[in-house]
A and B are shown apart, each in its own frame.
Chain A
Amino acid sequence: VSAASLERGYRRLLACYPERFRAEQADEMLAVLMEGACRDHRPGDRRGAGAAGLAEAGPDRDGRGRRVMFTVHSWFPYPLQLLTTSVYLLEVAALTVSPGPRHGRHLLNWGHGVTMLLAAGAVQASTLWDDSKTGIARILVHDHKLRSTSWSSASRWRWSQWRRPWRCG
């Protein structure tokens, strides 16, 4: 991994911090990350021995929670881990309480679940690779109002669809 690509990776990751924090600390954090990577580099290493991995450089507002909940996807930035984990938990909970095929309809179905997982994956991937300032992924990550409003609207809509009287035929 070249220094330039490592720096690009770190910059992408730092984009996930809140704007105020980023404005204040991003350049300095980048310097620390790069210094760690360069000082501990050993010939033949694919990466500096002390170079922080992308996950290690990420926001760590609640280290314990992050380590427990996000081990599997530890290379994703923290806000997206939080978002996608919420999606997964919602999906699992909804599928669990679904009335099942006997009742002829579902609160959620597998198609919906797969769509949601693909959407979450796309958001994660685009955030990792999107450098533009107005990227949709960045808006999704940082605009908490938009995120929570869209989620609650979608949930309310799905719930109202499910609760509507159902007629056979």
Chain B
Amino acid sequence: MQEATFLILTALAAGSQHGYGIITDVKEISGDRVRLRAGTLYTALDRLRADGLIAVDREEVVENRLRRYYRLTPDGSDLLAVEAARLRANADAALRRLNLAGGTV
């Protein structure tokens, strides 16, 4: 799973969000390291929707502009949990080996 996809799913894990909310949330989660472009975000959202990992939660019109909220589907939650566990296992392995090798971590 690409990092942008992981971060988008993570942003939606806490509840439904609209496009701009996802962009700002991803920026915050990644410690200002990942700034999603609108093109990247919507291409990813389109793909995630097609894969059944996210769904449209509701739509609002704010200041004459469409605001669509997305939410994780059960499949999306499962995939995110699996991916998070995989990343944690990898990180744990790396930290264990660093400790064994007398690393500073």
Contacts and interface: CB of A to CB of B under 8 A. Distances in A.
A63 B42 CA distance: 13
Contact of A63 (B20, B40, B67): B40
Nearest to B19: A32
Name B's interface SS.
Answer: helix
B9 to A, nearest CB: 18
A59 B43 contact: yes
A95 to B, nearest CB: 33
Contacts of B37: 52, 56-57, 60
A80 to B, nearest CB: 14
B19 A60 contact: no
B58 to A, nearest CB: 13
Contacts of B42: 21, 25, 28-29
Contacts of A25: 42, 45-46
Contacts of A56: 37-39
A35 to B, nearest CB: 5
B46 A24 contact: yes
B65 A33 contact: no
B46 A32 contact: no
B39 A35 contact: no
Interface string B26-58: 000000000001111111011000000000000
A167 interface: no
Contact of B38 (A27, A29, A39): A29
Contacts of B20: 31-32, 35-36, 39
A108 interface: no
A19 to B, nearest CB: 13
B39 A21 contact: no
A94 interface: no
Interface in A1-58: 21, 24-25, 27-36, 39, 52, 56-58
A61 B38 CA distance: 12
Interface of A: 21, 24-25, 27-36, 39, 52, 56-61, 63
Given A29-B42, A60-B40, 14 more contacts: A24-B46, A28-B67, A30-B65, A31-B19, A31-B62, A31-B65, A31-B67, A32-B38, A33-B38, A35-B65, A36-B38, A57-B39, A58-B39, A60-B37
